[in-house]
Amino acid sequence: MSCKRKITKLVGMTLLVMISLQGRTQETVFSQYYNNPVLYNPGLIGADLGMKVRFQYRDQWSNLPGNFNTINFNMDIAERNIPGSGGLAVMFNRKQEGQGFLEKTVLGIGTSVRIPLQENIVTHLGFMGSFVEQKVNWSNLVFSDQFDQRYGDIFPTAFTPPASGQGAVRYPDIVIGNIIRFFPYAYSVDKIIGTLGFAVHHTLEPEDSYLGLESRVPRKYVAHGNMMWINQQAGNSRNSEGFSGITKYDFGFLFESWQKRSNYAVGVNVMRSNLYLGTWFRGESYGELSSNAIVFMLGLNYSMADNATMKIMYSYDWDLNELVSISGPTHEITLIFQMDDVMMFGKSDGFRDRSYNGGSFGSGSSGGIIQQPLECSPF
């Protein structure tokens, strides 16, 4: 075994052991958090018209031995035919760290309540209940006292695994969240839509110890927001609405805090002619330790029907810390199917407003359902 590979494996395994002994796996993190609203804030459930089905895969630290990846599936559907109803969502999330050493599976269902505050302001209160299972495979773990400087992991460890049946922890979990969406009145053809949100994860701080010790999942607080500017451009060749095309600029931020750890992201996405481009700066800190990365995103939007679209987005995390040569880059890919006129009970009438050529972010400059600004997807 080469020296670099021994160091890489030791770093990875030591990290896993520290996490497992403390009874806490890492929180799920996505660079494309805006493509996974149900996971971060249940207040976003049904905030946009129609049904959205999302598949997301994240491959983190691709150079380390084993798998550090996360898969997520979630679906939410809006409802406007029942007064006060926001929507309904289901979610499945699975995170693996190392070669099957640590696994975390989350299965959740959530709903939201929609409360119009003014003609141009609406709020959503959301709730998601989940079942969580965390597993650790003690037989596959390699501890630091097993390593020889020359021959690698050849010694037995002094660590004694817990009794049979304590390799898995199961518990219920609750997330609550709220968003406020608004748009300023303006006489310009351009539109601006803003969204601010806040969520509390692990509200009841469930018990998650593998070793039977007192250990609870700390609450995580999430704050996020975005401001989308929809620039409708006039030109010689105009569509039925009198505009030659639409460019959308979406400026956003995310901040997460739990225990002594924090994570934040700030950046912008741009959509033009069914092409997405995005640049984000992401930072993470734990005590005196910190890491930063620049995230580049590229995506395409394909119209499958008048009110149905498919989106695919890829992002690459360019780490700025010195360990990037060992850990390697992070890749993330998202596939989204969106049907704008589907509801739980009947079809949407589009909430038509001829002053606004809307649709969801990336649905194109013409065609599709015409929606009020409050029904416009932020990303």
Which one, of 340, 359, 351, 325, lies nearest residue 230 by Cα?
359
Q: For residue 41, is pLDDT > 90?
A: yes
State the Cα–Cα distance between residues 216 and 104, nearest whole angstrom: 16
How many beta carbons lie within 10 A of that of residue 83, not counting itself? 6
The secondary structure of 49-99 as a DSSP string is SSEEEEEEEEE-STTSSSEEEEEEEEEEEE--SSTTEEEEEEEEEEEEEET
pTM above 0.95, yes or no: no
- Residue 32 and residue 313 in contact, taking contact as beta carbons nearer than 8 Å: yes
Most confident of 137-151, 248-262, 331-345: 248-262
CATH classification of the domain holding 225: 2.40.160.40
Which one, of 40, 35, 36, lies nearest residue 223 by Cα?
40
The mean-pLDDT minimum among 188-192, 194-198, 255-259 falls in: 188-192
Coil/strand/helix, residue 177? strand
CB-based burial of residue 336 (10 Å sphere; 0-12 exposed, 13-18 middle, 19+ buried)?
Answer: buried
CA dihedral sign of residues 69, 269, 248, 41: positive
List the structure tokens of 346.
């009947």
**Residues 6 or more apart in contact with residue 302 via CB below 8 angstroms:** 274, 309, 310, 311, 312
Q: What is the mean pLDDT of residues 47-57?
A: 93
- 159 versus 273: the higher-pLDDT residue is 273
State the Cα–Cα distance between residues 278 and 313, nearest whole angstrom: 10
List the structure tokens of 237.
């060749």
Q: Tens of pLDDT along 61-106?
A: 766 666 678 999 999 999 888 888 889 999 999 998 766 578 899 9
Indicate the Cα dihedral angle 298, 193, 55, 179, nearest 10°: 140
Summary mean pLDDT of the chain: 78
pLDDT at 290: 80
Q: For residue 200, is pLDDT > 90?
A: yes
Say how many CA atoms lie within 13 Å of 248 toward its Cβ: 27
Phi/psi of residue 374, nearest 5 degrees: -65, -15
- 334 versus 61: the higher-pLDDT residue is 334
Residue type at position 232: Q
pLDDT at 154: 65
Provide the β-strand partners of residue 275: 272, 300
The secondary structure of 94-141 as a DSSP string is EEEEETTTEEEEEEEEEEEEEEEEETTEEEEEEEEEEEEEEEE-GGG-
- Work out how many domains the chain is built from and give that number: 1
The mean-pLDDT minimum among 147-156, 163-172, 359-368 falls in: 359-368
Say how many CA atoms lie within 13 Å of 163 toward its Cβ: 1
Angle CA 191–44–353, to nearest 5: 35
State the Cα–Cα distance between residues 58 and 36, nearest whole angstrom: 12
Q: For residue 164, is pLDDT > 60?
A: no
Range of the domain at 266: 3-375
Residue type at position 320: L
- Residue 78 and residue 86 in contact, taking contact as beta carbons nearer than 8 Å: yes
- 319 versus 359: the higher-pLDDT residue is 319
Alpha-carbon distances of 182 from 124, 201, 247, rounded to whole Å: 12, 25, 20
Give 13's DSSP letter: H
State the Cα–Cα distance between residues 255 and 252, nearest whole angstrom: 11
- Residue 77 and residue 11 in contact, taking contact as beta carbons nearer than 8 Å: no
> pLDDT band at 353, cuts 50/70/90?
very low
